[in-house]
Structure 1
């Protein structure tokens, strides 16, 4: 089993995901979004499952700094903004084959590892 984790090292939820899978000796491929942004196609895959709005972390400092609370953006524009500004993403984004999770989703991760 192998999982791909998208996030930033400073994110406590991303660190929790990395620790969760490491403790279970699951091979992980970590993508640091500050070094390499997620591709639009990858984000679109998560958006198809969870919706674009679910990907946006409205509690992030970056969201407030950019004054996005009043923004009325289309889904495509939001996806562009999330590629440009990875700190706006709710993290971590975790992918195991075709299965996806968003944010801290320990119950989902547990299902994946208990199989």
Structure 2
């Protein structure tokens, strides 16, 4: 049976919306706070291979100040600087979504309930 995993931060309002969204549908997601535990290299690679550069929060002040012109692989950046991730990243099986993506969350709910 598949489960839902959410990577985000406790202070992120969209992460809180995602957690609430799944709980309201009877699904208790596993939550990892990126401020307490960063992604492993393997997980970052999986996320990046599925989402590509969409996983980077290019609107964040951290990205604009430090990385807009930085020439590095995105998966390396999100491991070393988890604050660059567009949160939440929601995982269901081998699929991912990032940011506010209610349509993907609904599909994930159906996958979990099967």
TM-score, length-scaled by structure 1: 0.86
Cα distance between partner residues in 1 of 2:16 and 2:105: 14
Is 2:4–2:30's contact at 8 Å kept on the other side of the alignment?
yes
| Ranges of 4+ aligned residues in structure 1 off by more than 2 Å | none
Consecutive unaligned residues of structure 1, counting only runs of 5 or more, are none
Map residues 29-44 of structure 1 onto 2, 5 A cutoff. Answer: 29-44=30-45
Give the alignment partner of residue 88 of structure 1, picking from 65, 84, 87: 84
Distance 1:79 1:112, change over 3 A: closer
Aligned residues: 110
Question: Could you say which residue in structure 2 is the equivalent of 1:62?
Answer: 62
1:65 Cα deviation from its structure 2 partner: 3.4
1:107 Cα deviation from its structure 2 partner: 0.5
Secondary structure at 1:34's aligned position in 2? coil
Map residues 97-112 of structure 1 onto 2, 5 A cutoff. Answer: 97-112=93-108
TM-score, length-scaled by structure 2: 0.86
Consecutive unaligned residues of structure 2, counting only runs of 5 or more, are none
1:81 Cα deviation from its structure 2 partner: 2.0
